[in-house]
Chains A and B, each alone.
Chain A
């Protein structure tokens, strides 16, 4: 064991910092505390990254990516978060991207990867259905092969950003006879295809991120099937298993820390600044301690990258459990720090901490709920 900072990584951090200082337009910075940047801002930022050759931090070099190590990517995310850049299209970069790079034919890759790299095409993820949430494999949206097309019928739900996306990657049932997991395929669908209807779902944070997506006799070229027919489940497992070190959303936690510090010195009670009240300082200090531990846990998980063992996988789940729990507790306390105004709904604000806090209830639901994660940990660690 050895804890000296790695000079190469420190140099890398400086490079990223310099780039951000020089290339991040002022009007794109700090648009939102949460993870939803306006579509237009995302596209502009993606184009800037593309110009720098940094379009896909998590992709290999021969696929137009940076080929960075997990450690480098964490530094990149950290600096971007601190500088307040717009987000990249996570669905395209981290979920679909690896699938394209691994399973797509050269034609499919040529069709879909470049627009992602250039920020010209936004994606959404069509997995969940009303009857298939945690039990994803029970999904029923079906795709029937007719000639050189699939015809899709069914419904997806909780589709984040479906109303802002150009394309959707879908899990569909292609073999109704087969065992649950066996009859599923992975299909790419243009959202402009006739027969697709998107209906908004309003969230408790007062915003519209989620949607229901209905498919009524939607014709999809058979060329849009990724991998072989009925191979969708193994592709899904591959896709969901990729990003253990990111499950805690460390940059988000750091933004919360910054926000707490800001509130502690700008807000007051009866003329006393919050930071001068022991109970406030105490609580923030505890959160910062926990955050430091989470940060190291992220580094440990990053060091396990590529390791297919049980522990590496379980660490991803444990990190998500602890990280999302911390997200929720920190965001609740941020709202407490607002005092009276923490009760006021102000959905127009760009720094709407309460909306962020309400949205964070979802962190323990999406991406494998905490209950499901606990099940995974118990199984992987103890064979229970």
Chain B
């Protein structure tokens, strides 16, 4: 195992850090959030020009040949700045689901356009009653001659505003919970029968809710093997990205808070001179390093293990890391006192991102339950 970034990874990390420093400080972000920037995906040119959109795309498909590690390196830097654009939704989630879908024709048609930033996709998979779990699907797909028609509703489509098309999961067979019968479809953003509402999340990012009424769609993969498996594989990649982002969030919250403890004075001394606060900072940084280690464990498992194993590790990682992020960023607010409760202070926004992150891709308790079920299966099989 090697924990240092290789030359390319370091360059990647540095280039994102430079972008953050020069173009995306907290004030810029505050202005950009809510100004429609996210819909226009402004700064997407920079993302394309720096190769970030292609970093984790296989070399034979026109990418840089990186893996989830490259995604994590970028996400962590973006997390430090609470980047609000469609990185996670479009560049990671939609792109990786498309790659994993195995539909060669569509992959070859779309990937170059996604990598050069001229087109953008988003993934519409979650539903009201699904809470981010991929195989729970009520949205229906029915065959209609050469095409398919989709009816139903999707929620919380990340990066969904201003995209060219959506990748949509829909069921052509089976009941709401069945693993079989879920396929992936491509739907143009301007397709007839598709309506969209923008929703604002706590951290200022925007998502889309979609309603489909007999919307014409192209099949990406119609059988469960490629459909659901591809979807879950792409989701795993995105969950790793989110976890890395949260490690970046924690890093930055801790730095901001440490800086505040050095400058804020009460009782005639910097509050950082109080031992109780020093200990709190020590606990926060220890929790963050534990979370980073869990991220690495999940990345390692994603590269080395079978699907069942890596999914289980990732379930645990999502729970551990979102919990750590809520704790660490929440403590950041605490150590700021009143000022930490205000919209104009950065620290609260890190906490908000951690709360949103927990709600995305299935909350902690759902992942905890999934871990528990996997453990039960394992031990029951061995000790029947």
Output the residue of B276, B341, B369 with the most chain A CB within 10 A. Answer: B341
Task: Please name all residues of chain A whose beta carbon is closer than 8 Å to the beta carbon of B348 when the two chains form the complex.
Answer: 204, 358, 361
Query: Which among A277, A344, A371 is the interface contact of B199 at CB below 8 angstroms?
Result: A344
Beta-carbon contact of A344 and B338 below 8 Å: no
> A336, B202: Cβ atoms under 8 Å?
no
Partner of A369, one of B177, B337, B342, B351: B337
Complexed CA–CA distance, A354 and B358 (Å): 13
Bound Cα distance A362, B338 (Å): 7
Q: A240 → chain B, closest Cβ, in Å? A: 17
Is B344 an interface residue when CB atoms closer than 8 A count as contact? yes
Q: Taking the complex as formed, is A210 at the interface, i.e. its CB lies under 8 A from any CB of chain B?
A: yes
Q: Are A361 and B201 interface neighbours, CB within 8 A?
A: no
Tally chain A residues at the interface, Cβ within 8 Å: 49
Can you spell out 12 A-B residue pairs with CB atoms less than 8 angstroms apart? A138-B268, A206-B343, A269-B129, A269-B136, A270-B130, A277-B369, A340-B130, A344-B199, A344-B200, A345-B201, A365-B337, A365-B340
Apart from A210-B342, A340-B359, A358-B355: 13 A-B pairs, beta carbons within 8 A = A128-B338, A204-B333, A270-B176, A328-B330, A336-B364, A338-B359, A339-B363, A343-B355, A344-B201, A358-B348, A365-B334, A371-B274, A375-B276
6 smallest CB-CB distances across A and B, nearest first, come from A204-B348, A343-B359, A339-B131, A270-B136, A135-B266, A202-B343
CB under 8 Å from chain B, chain A span 193-220: 201-204, 206, 210
CB nearest neighbor in B for A206:
B343
- Report yes or no: A364 in contact with B176, Cβ–Cβ below 8 A: no
Contact A361 B202, beta carbon cutoff 8 Å: no
Q: Is B106 among interface residues, defined by CB-CB distance under 8 A?
A: no
Query: Is B326 positioned at the interface, with any CB of A under 8 Å from its CB?
Result: yes
What's the interface size class on B, roughly?
Answer: 35 or more
Decide: B131 and A269 in contact? CB cutoff 8 A.
yes
Q: What separation, in Å, do the CA atoms of A201 and B355 have in the docked complex? A: 22
Contact digits for A90-121, partner B, Cβ 8 Å, 1 yes 0 no: 00000000000000000000000000000000
Distance to closest chain B CB from A249 (angstroms):
17
Q: Does A5 sit within 8 A of B, measured CB to CB?
A: no
Contacts of B202 in A (CB 8 A): 343-345, 354, 358
Tell me, yes or no, whether A133 is within 8 Å of chain B by CB: yes
A358 proximity list for chain B (CB < 8 A): 202, 348, 351-352, 355
A206 contacts which chain B residues (CB < 8 A)? 343
- A371 CB → nearest B CB, Å: 5
**Contact, CB under 8 Å: B276 / A280:** no
With contact pairs A270-B133, A364-B334 given, residues A371 and B276 touching in the complex (Cβ less than 8 Å): yes
If A269-B129, A335-B359, A361-B351 touch, does A203 touch B343 (CB 8 Å cutoff)? yes
Q: Is B248 interfacial (CB 8 A cutoff)?
A: no
**Given A135, A202, A278, which contacts B344 in the complex, CB threshold below 8 Å?**
A202
Nearest Cβ in chain B — how far from A232, in angstroms? 19
B103 within 8 A of A: no
**Residue-wise interface mask of A (251-273) relative to B, using a CB-CB cutoff of 8 A (1 in contact, 0 not):** 00000000000000000111100
Query: B348-384: which residues lie under 8 A (CB-CB) from chain A?
Result: 348-349, 351-352, 355-356, 358-360, 363-366, 368-369, 372
| A202 CA / B356 CA spacing, docked (Å) | 20
User: Does B71 interact with chain A (Cβ within 8 Å)?
Assistant: no
B88 to chain A, nearest CB (A): 13
Is the C-beta of A134 less than 8 angstroms from some C-beta in chain B? Answer: yes
Instruction: Determine the chain A residues whose CB is within 8 A of the CB of B277 once the complex forms.
Output: 371
Known: A270-B136, A354-B202. A133 touches B365 (CB 8 A): no
Closest chain-A Cβ to B30's Cβ sits at a distance in Å of: 12
Shortest distance from the beta carbon of A252 to any chain B beta carbon, whole Å: 17
Q: Write the nearest CB–CB distance from A338 to chain B, whole angstroms.
A: 7
Within 8 Å CB of A328, what residues of B?
330
What does the 1/0 interface line of A343-367 toward B look like (CB < 8 Å)? 1110000000010011101101110
The answer to whether the Cβ of B221 comes within 8 Å of any Cβ in the partner chain is no
**Within the assembled complex, what's the spacing in Å between the Cα atoms of A364 and B280?**
14
**Residues of the A chain whose Cβ atoms lie less than 8 Å from the Cβ of B181:** none
Assess the B352–A340 pair: CB atoms within 8 A. no
